[in-house]
């Protein structure tokens, strides 16, 4: 999982001029509920349907006006999730890694994760339709199904067979493993099933 090399925040900043930086974040909360009263939901993990029809994480390009990577991320989260994102304050310590790509442009994609309470996450979801970019760059938030249904396909394997922007699919798999949101064996199986074609 995660074929591309993952850089630390410091390594990524040493790439020098000529590279654009973008920051995206996985927001998650413990979720005690059960689907059909039977299937543990585990956690609520947020992604979004983008304007281009692909799934990705909230966030975006860091601009010259942003004083830091995290300031850029914070601005993008407010644009895409609404004013409810203002108190989230993602910090350097929330950085999970950076991936770089030469095409279509030299871009470093920084990835962050932050754990919220379920109440905080639900408030974000409720406010998101009032965000400046709602209905424009962002068509809606989705929760990622972290379980696999009894047929072995429904849930996470089917979700992973959607189209993801850039390295968002690798970022999702990396984070679900690293944060312990899905057991590694189940994650590898879901990845394999989704690649084989359902």
Partner in contact with 113, chosen from ligand GTP, Mn ion, none, beta carbon below 5 to 8 Å by kind: none
Under the binding rule (CB under 5 A), the answer on residue 61 touching Mn ion is yes
Candidate residues 73, 81, 98, 109; the one interacting with ligand GTP per rule CB under 6 A: 109
Strand, helix or coil at 64?
A: coil
Cis peptide before 37 (omega within 30 of 0): no
- For 51, 158, 168, 191, the CA distances from 73, given in Å and listed in that order, are 19, 29, 16, 28
Count H helices, E strands: the chain? 6, 9
Partner in contact with 168, chosen from ligand GTP, Mn ion, none, beta carbon below 5 to 8 Å by kind: ligand GTP
* Nearer to Mn ion among residue 101 and residue 192 (C-beta): 101
Partner in contact with 167, chosen from Mn ion, ligand GTP, none, beta carbon below 5 to 8 Å by kind: ligand GTP
Binding residues for ligand GTP, how many (CB under 6 A)? 15
- DSSP letter, residue 123: H
**Which residue's structure tokens are 């999982």?**
1
User: Which residue ranges make up the site for ligand GTP (CB under 6 A)?
Assistant: 22, 24, 56-57, 59-61, 76, 109, 137, 165-168, 171
């Amino acid at each position: 999982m995660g074929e591309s090399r993952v850089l630390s925040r410091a390594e990524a900043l040493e790439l020098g001029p000529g590279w654009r930086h973008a920051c995206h974040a996985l927001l998650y909360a413990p979720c005690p509920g059960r689907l059909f009263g039977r299937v543990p939901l585990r956690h609520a993990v947020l992604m979004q349907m983008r304007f281009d029809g692909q799934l990705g994480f909230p966030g975006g390009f860091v601009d010259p006006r942003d004083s830091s990577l995290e300031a850029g991320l914070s601005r993008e989260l407010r644009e895409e999730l609404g004013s409810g994102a203002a108190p989230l304050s993602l910090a350097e310590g929330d950085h999970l890694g950076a991936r770089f790509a030469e095409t279509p442009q030299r871009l470093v994609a920084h990835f962050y994760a932050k754990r919220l309470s379920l109440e905080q996450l639900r408030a974000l979801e409720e406010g998101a339709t009032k965000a400046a970019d709602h209905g424009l760059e962002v068509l809606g938030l989705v929760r990622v199904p972290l379980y696999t249904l009894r047929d072995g396909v429904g849930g996470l394997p089917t979700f992973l067979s959607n189209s993801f922007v850039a390295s968002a699919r690798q970022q999702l798999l990396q984070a679900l493993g690293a944060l312990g949101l899905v057991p590694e064996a189940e994650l590898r199986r879901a990845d394999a099933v989704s690649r084989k074609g359902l």
